Amino acid sequence: MNNNQPDRDQISDIRQALRRPLPGLAGQMQMMPQPRPGMERGFDPAHCPREGGVLLLLYPKAGELTLVLTRRADTLHHHRGQVSFPGGAWEPSDADFVQTALREAQEELGIQPETLTILGTLTPLYIPPSDYRIYPAVAYTPQRPDFRPDPCEVALVLEMPLAELTSGRNIHTETWELRGYPVEVPFFEVDGHKVWGATAMVLGEFRALMCSAAIPSPQPLAEQTP
């Protein structure tokens, strides 16, 4: 038996699920703070926010399909110290938001775009506090990247086994005070860090996609050698 077969089968299932109608807002709302900070002022459909791409990258680690997150440096202007996906603002030289996500992942973590396979995209999400609309791309690489974080942007690299996401066992909810109001905040706990807000909402849609498509739980897999 080929030890990589479970890996290939699951990645194929995820690719096919991304080609079907997405969970969209319903999936995102499962991890949305209530009430959502910044939404009290409403959203003008004619408003043109800044836009960017983020990367949800899957790869094998220690026999499990895993995804990478980063804790943003405390010196950054937006969302400092929070956990996020690799990603950033669209630039005129980017062909699309997928290329934005790949370029930013290379700049932040040293991930080589040519080693990745794009599986599809998730639903765009507007972030009121930073006035950004993000476009999530889902990608896969058959071996764990040699992460080389840029200290100006990344304080810490976090890795979450996909089994933790799909099981929901690391989902919690707390009441926080945000902008002077009590807010019920759902979050994923990853190595003692709370993943909330837009990042959790994107993960919420991806989790809903996995569940609605009845994609089997990750099986042990082998990391390919170069």
Mean pLDDT within 126-140? 93
Q: How far apart are CA 120 and CA 222, in angstroms?
A: 23
Q: Cβ distance 158 to 69 under 8 Å? A: yes
Reference 6, options 218, 211, 165; nearest CA is 218
Q: Cβ distance 55 to 102 under 8 Å? A: yes
Question: 153-177 pLDDT, tens per residue?
Answer: 899 999 999 999 999 999 999 999 9
For residue 77, is pLDDT > 70? no
The per-residue pLDDT for 130 is: 84
Q: How far apart are CA 97 and CA 91, in angstroms?
A: 9
Task: Read off the tokens for 144.
Answer: 């764990």
For residues 199 and 82, which has the higher predicted lDDT (pLDDT)? 199
Q: Cβ distance 109 to 154 under 8 Å? A: yes
Task: Read off the tokens for 198.
Answer: 């837009």
Question: 12-32 pLDDT, tens per residue?
Answer: 999 999 999 999 999 999 999
Q: Cβ distance 162 to 67 under 8 Å? A: yes
For residue 208, is pLDDT > 90? yes
Beta strands 181-190 and 50-61 are unpaired
Task: Read off the tokens for 19.
Answer: 């080609």
115 DSSP assignment: G
116 DSSP assignment: -
Mean pLDDT within 53-70? 95
Cα→Cα distances 104→55, 99, 153, 204, 219, Å: 9, 8, 10, 22, 30
Q: How far apart are CA 130 and CA 135, in angstroms?
A: 14
Q: Cα angle at 185 between 74 and 134, to 5 degrees?
A: 60
